[in-house]
Structure 1
Amino acid sequence: MEGYTKHVGIMGGTFDPIHCGHLLAAEQAREQAKLDEVWFLPTHIPPHKSRHGLTPAHHRLRMVELAVADHPAFHVCDEELRREGPSYTYDTMRLLTQKFPTHHFSFIIGGDMVNTLPEWNHYEELVRMIRFIGLARPGSRMKRENESVTYVEMPVWDISSTLIRNRVGAGKSIRYLVPDAVARYIKENGLYGSVE
């Protein structure tokens, strides 16, 4: 799009903890959707998740900072952590588009979320403000009729933050599932039941 200085992809999530699947998805989106940068946006209170015992924000933020430190196009955005209440994408993107008027923003979402987009808070206003990038896993059953979504092909890699937390709690290795710096941080801070 002409007139924009940067094409920025926003990757939101609780990142509890961030793992290599998140980083792989961000890199695929950056490359295939021709993004200049990807900003990782840890959520304060996710509106669609009810898991109790969310790790304190400062830990989740620090793990994201450590995970993206070696990638020149990856950055951290703490916009939602500085606000109270649930983290709605519309509110965040409205603030970011006002703060960075020369950036063109895309919001990166999992393929399973594409079909629920019309249910999002202020969806009609959102699609006028930004585009969405849907991560399409092979064999996924998402409808591709949504013109507001650019699709990016993702390799199959079944990994989740729940898996990481469970493995740490059981004393199992998370090597190669999270960046080394994140694994060290989890251990040093005794997160998820790990032994310090």
Structure 2
Amino acid sequence: MKIGLYFGTFNPIHVGHLIIANHMAEHADLDQVWMVVTPHNPLKKKSTLLDDYHRLQMVHLATEDFPKIKPSDIEFKLSQPNYTVNTLVHLQEKYSSHEFSLIMGEDNLKSLHKWKNYEVILAHHDIYVYPRISFEAENLELKNHTKIHLIDAPVVEISSTDIRHNIKKGKNVQPLLHHKVWDYIDHNNFYKK
């Protein structure tokens, strides 16, 4: 089975994340997309990052109606700080029959050469890249690499940061969130302080 790994803090997960994940599951040669919730780094200031469990629960709520999209807490079990290359090794050992790929925006591809052991990642894993409005693929050095696949996905510029700020200001953000995610946020009074 070919799995696309879509990493993020998902603080909160919004419809933009779902649009990208679903597009990759339906239009790239992937069998499933796993939404990998990135744990809180204990060495960093927590600020507005919700507990790992709450962010994972929101991903569960947002994806339960999408059979090709699955939440993953795989990084919760790995020592911190963690690197993507370590997660990939761990997943390959745990699920040896699966083939794992990465899903990222053009902005992340631009800095991929700064990632720990990025050459190892590129040697063993495909990377599916979705467009971002603020970046031009023409300027990306790695875009012609055989493991890089630029996917003509919808350009979605929705920001979890903006959603949190607008909730704090009392603005209506419901159209930007899956209704179950909005209910969970509202019920728990998240992001209001």
Is the TM value for this pair above 0.5? yes
**Separation in 2, partners of 1:50, 1:129:** 34
Report if the CA contact (8 A) 1:175-1:183 is conserved: yes
Show structure 2 runs of 5+ residues with no match: none
The equivalent residue for 2:173 is 174
User: Matched residue of 2:175: which SS?
Assistant: coil
Deviations 1:74-106 (CA, angstroms, capped at 9, x unpaired)? 111111112331231111110001111111111
Give the aligned residue type for 1:38.
Answer: V
The equivalent residue for 1:90 is 85
The equivalent residue for 1:156 is 155
**Separation in 1, partners of 2:188, 2:8:** 21
Task: Report whether the alignment pairs 1:190 with 2:189.
Answer: yes
Identify, as 1 or 2, the structure richer in helix: 2
**Separation in 2, partners of 1:166, 1:139:** 21
Which of 129, 136, 139 aligns to 1:141? It is 136
Which of 94, 118, 138 aligns to 1:99? It is 94
Give the aligned residue type for 1:24.
Answer: I
Q: How many aligned positions are there?
A: 188
User: Matched residue of 1:181: which SS?
Assistant: helix
Cα distance, 1:157 vs structure 2: 2.5
Give the aligned residue type for 2:150.
Answer: Y
Report if the CA contact (8 A) 2:104-2:129 is conserved: yes
Cα RMSD, aligned residues only: 2.0
Call closer, same or farther: CA 1:46–1:37 in 2, change over 3 Å. Answer: farther
**Separation in 1, partners of 2:87, 2:125:** 11
Deviations 1:98-146 (CA, angstroms, capped at 9, x unpaired)? 1111111111001111121111111111112211111124673122223
Report if the CA contact (8 A) 2:25-2:69 is conserved: no
Show structure 1 runs of 5+ residues with no match: 1-5
The equivalent residue for 1:59 is 54
Task: Report whether the alignment pairs 1:20 with 2:19.
Answer: no
Mean alpha-carbon deviation: is it higher for 134-143 or for 165-174?
134-143
**Separation in 1, partners of 2:24, 2:155:** 15
Report if the CA contact (8 A) 1:44-1:86 is conserved: no
Report if the CA contact (8 A) 1:97-1:103 is conserved: yes
